[in-house]
Amino acid sequence: MPLLEANGNQRVAIAKGSDPYRTTLQALNYFKDEVSYKPCDRVVIKPNIVRPVASKKGITTDVRVVEAIIKFLRDRGVEDIIIAEGGNPGTDKAFKILGFMELKMKYGVELVNLNKDEWEEITIPDSVVLETVKVAKTVLECDKIINVPKLKIHHMAQITLSLKNLMGVIVDNRGLVMHDMIDEKIVDLASLFKPVLNVVDGIVGAEMDEVVGNPVQSNVIIAGVDMVAVDTIGSAVMGLDPNTIKHVQLAAKRGIGISNLDHIDVIGEMIKTVEKRFSTAYSERKLKTYGLSNPLSEEDKLYMRNSFANRDPQVSDPYRK
């Protein structure tokens, strides 16, 4: 279970700075005694790499943020570290372009493209919509997960932070599996996992859309144990009301974490000193175009296929593996 303060509140740290490596270490330092690590632990670091584009575009997790997490783990005696990501057919290309191959060589960590991983079909206890899901064995067999999303608006789920980032562990037609009733399915999936840390890369975030959005220089790293609390603070940092983010509120109701700002202790920077209003105009317009039928209509799916091809020439159909 997430670790609580004596007063029952969750702690979420906000560190401010333009240097991804130093700012991440600053945020992690608040949690140096929060989680115990064993030298034999096998730890998966799960970034957000939806396209092979530079992190300065606001779309992908900065490799320097991941490097700081590796440093944090090595200082605690952890040697068996895996950087694992899926969710896009261009993952191998992204590993090369974004510098993750260099991390592999420098630190001797393992890189795993979860799209190519073996999988196990898991039954989700007490699911609302997503009864079973195919999850990569690399994730299932690790001892700890460190979740490293990007600070972004999402065209269907409103935001994509810690909870949404777990979608990359699915080895399947993720779009087809998840996009009908996406908020409920995000929560169903998240109920299977308890990352020991969630570290949001907000040095450069993305507004309007998660794949081709406009970059926003936010200069923040947000970190915490509780996924829901971290996403609540992340929403507020983007100028959004956490109470309006459906999957965050559903996750809180399911007992996955805390979404009440009054029950979250923000340490480091205050929200009001780092808050920037991220534009949601584009995503709101797209949602109206889709119609957001639950489940998605065939017209919705056709529109998404056509628009996705325009967003990323590498991917012609998000409904295939």
pLDDT band at 297 (very low <50, low <70, confident <90, very high): low
Dist. CA 67–CA 92, nearest whole Å: 18
Question: What number of other Cβ atoms are within 10 A of residue 169's Cβ?
Answer: 28
pLDDT band at 314 (very low <50, low <70, confident <90, very high): very low
Question: Greatest CA span in the chain, whole angstroms?
Answer: 52
Dist. CA 304–CA 113, nearest whole Å: 24
pLDDT band at 2 (very low <50, low <70, confident <90, very high): very low
Q: Quick check: pTM over 0.95?
A: no
Extents of the domains making up the chain: 10-311
pLDDT band at 282 (very low <50, low <70, confident <90, very high): confident
Question: What number of other Cβ atoms are within 10 A of residue 316's Cβ?
Answer: 12
Q: Which two tokens stand for residue 36?
A: 């115990």
Average pLDDT, the chain: 89
**Each residue of 117-169: pLDDT tens digit?**
999 999 999 999 999 999 999 999 999 999 999 999 998 899 999 999 999 99
Q: Which two tokens stand for residue 303?
A: 């529109």
